[in-house]
Amino acid sequence: MLRLAQPVVFCALLCSVCASCPPRCECSEAAHTVKCVSKDLRSIPSGIPGYTRNLFITGNQISRIGPECFKGLDNVTTLSLSNNRISDVESHTFTSLRSLRSLDLSNNQLAVIHPEAFTIQNQSLRELNLSRALYNHSSVMDLATSLRWSSLGTLQGLDLSGNSLIYLPLRIFSHLASLRRLQLSNNSLVSIHNSTFSGLERLEELDLTFNALKTVSEEGLQELDSLPRTRLLLGENPFTCTCGIEPFALWLNRSQRRVRDADSLVCAFPAAMRNTSLLALGKLTLGCHQRAAGADLALQTSYVFLGIVLGFVGLVFLFVLYLNRKGIKKRIYDMRDACREVWEGYHYRYEIDSDPRLSQVSTSADV
Ligand SMILES: *[C@@H]1O[C@H](CO)[C@@H](O)[C@H](O)[C@H]1NC(C)=O
Ligand SMILES: *[C@@H]1O[C@H](CO)[C@@H](O)[C@H](O)[C@H]1NC(C)=O
Ligand SMILES: *[C@@H]1O[C@H](CO)[C@@H](O)[C@H](O)[C@H]1NC(C)=O
Ligand SMILES: *[C@@H]1O[C@H](CO)[C@@H](O)[C@H](O)[C@H]1NC(C)=O
Ligand SMILES: *[C@@H]1O[C@H](CO)[C@@H](O)[C@H](O)[C@H]1NC(C)=O
Ligand SMILES: *[C@@H]1O[C@H](CO)[C@@H](O)[C@H](O)[C@H]1NC(C)=O
Ligand SMILES: *[C@@H]1O[C@H](CO)[C@@H](O)[C@H](O)[C@H]1NC(C)=O
Ligand SMILES: *[C@@H]1O[C@H](CO)[C@@H](O)[C@H](O)[C@H]1NC(C)=O
pLDDT digits (tens, 9 = 90+) for 270-313: 888 899 999 988 666 566 655 544 455 556 666 666 777 787 77
Q: Note the Cα 219 to chain centre separation in Å.
A: 16
- Beta-carbon contacts of 292 under 8 Å, excluding residues fewer than 6 positions away, are 243
Closest of 122, 121, 176, 97 to residue 144, by C-alpha: 176
User: What is the C-alpha to C-alpha distance for residues 108 and 173, in angstroms, rounded to an integer?
Assistant: 21
Crossing angle of the two packed helices 356-366 and 325-353, in degrees rounded to 10: 80
What 8-state DSSP symbol labels residue 199? T
User: What is the C-alpha to C-alpha distance for residues 141 and 114, in angstroms, rounded to an integer?
Assistant: 11
> For a pocket test of ligand 5, which of 185, 186, 233 has the largest count of ligand atoms closer than 8 A to its C-beta?
186
Going by CA atoms, what residue is nearest to atom 1 of ligand 8? 253
Ligand 6 neighbours (beta carbon < 6 A):
194-195, 219, 222
Ligand 7 centre and the CA of 207: distance in Å? 22
- Judge contact between 243 and 288, C-beta under 8 A: yes
Q: Determine the pLDDT at residue 341.
A: 77
Q: Tell me the domain boundaries of the chain.
A: 15-218+227-238, 324-366
Q: Determine the pLDDT at residue 290.
A: 53
Q: Which atom of ligand 1 sits closest to the CA of residue 32?
A: 5
Ligand closest to the CA atom of residue 125: 2
CATH class of 15-218+227-238: alpha beta
Ligand closest to the CA atom of residue 48: 1
Q: Determine the pLDDT at residue 340.
A: 79
Q: Determine the pLDDT at residue 10.
A: 43
Q: Which residues does the chain have with pLDDT short of 70?
A: 1-19, 282-305, 339, 345-367
Going by CA atoms, what residue is nearest to atom 8 of ligand 4? 138
Burial of residue 48 (number of CB atoms within 10 Å: 0-12, 13-18, 19+): buried
Ligand 1 neighbours (beta carbon < 6 A):
50-51, 72, 74-75
Ligand 6 centre and the CA of 219: distance in Å? 8
Q: Determine the pLDDT at residue 63.
A: 92
User: What is the C-alpha to C-alpha distance for residues 291 and 195, in angstroms, rounded to an integer?
Assistant: 34
Q: Determine the pLDDT at residue 322.
A: 77
User: What is the C-alpha to C-alpha distance for residues 121 and 72, in angstroms, rounded to an integer?
Assistant: 13
Q: Return the ∠ at Cα 127 (arms to 124 and 133), rounded to 5°.
A: 125
Ligand closest to the CA atom of residue 281: 8
Closest of 157, 144, 255 to residue 205, by C-alpha: 157
- Judge contact between 49 and 34, C-beta under 8 A: yes
What's this model's pTM, rounded to 2 decimal places?
0.76
Query: Which string of DSSP letters, residue by residue, matches 163-185?
Result: S------TTTTTT-TT--EEE--
* 124 CB near ligand 2 (under 6 Å): yes
Q: Determine the pLDDT at residue 359.
A: 47
Burial of residue 169 (number of CB atoms within 10 Å: 0-12, 13-18, 19+): middle
